[in-house]
Amino acid sequence: MNDCIFCKIIAGEIPSAKVYEDDEIVIFKDISPVAKIHLLCVPKEHFAYLSEMNAARADLLGRTLEKIGKMKDRLGLSEGYRLVINQGENAGQTVHHLHIHILGGEPLPWGK
Ligand code: AMP
Ligand code: ZN
């Protein structure tokens, strides 16, 4: 996707503070953090919405959740964390490349 900022980060065309990368996902620091730790976990395959899921993408997201769980301590999240996926306008999704917000590093207030 030519105009996708996360595809550009994945391609190394714009800088990011990467904390993890493998063949199918990258995790980097959110440029505008809303918690002490605010990471973005981004599948390298470009798709925007869970409504575009198929079996292969479901497997990918399953593996991704497994990886996040196994990496929690080295990501600084041993005291707990929250995962958020914004979808569409009402959720305030601004980047239309599916990503999982990883929030933690402090007690997180619950809300909308
Ligand atoms: P969302 O609102 O769920 O689409 O989240 C998009 C997130 O991407 C926001 O939290 C932004 O702060 C973050 N973001 C946008 N551009 C960059 C960038 N170049 N590097 C890191 N994070 C970014
Ligand atoms: Zn993209």
Question: Which of 29, 95, 103 has the most ligand 1 atoms within 8 A of CB, as the residue to mutate?
Answer: 95
The answer to whether residue 97 is catalytic is no
**Distance, CA of 103 to CA of 5 (rounded, Å):** 21
pLDDT value at position 2? 77
Q: Which domains does the chain have, with CATH numbers?
A: 5-104 (3.30.428.10)
| pLDDT values of the chain reduced to their tens digit, one per residue, 112 residues | 679 999 999 999 999 999 999 999 999 999 999 999 999 999 999 999 999 999 999 999 999 999 999 999 999 999 999 999 999 999 999 999 999 999 999 999 998 8
Asked if 15 contacts 28 with a C-beta cutoff of 8 angstroms, the reply is no
Q: Is the pTM of this model over 0.85?
A: yes
pLDDT value at position 1? 60
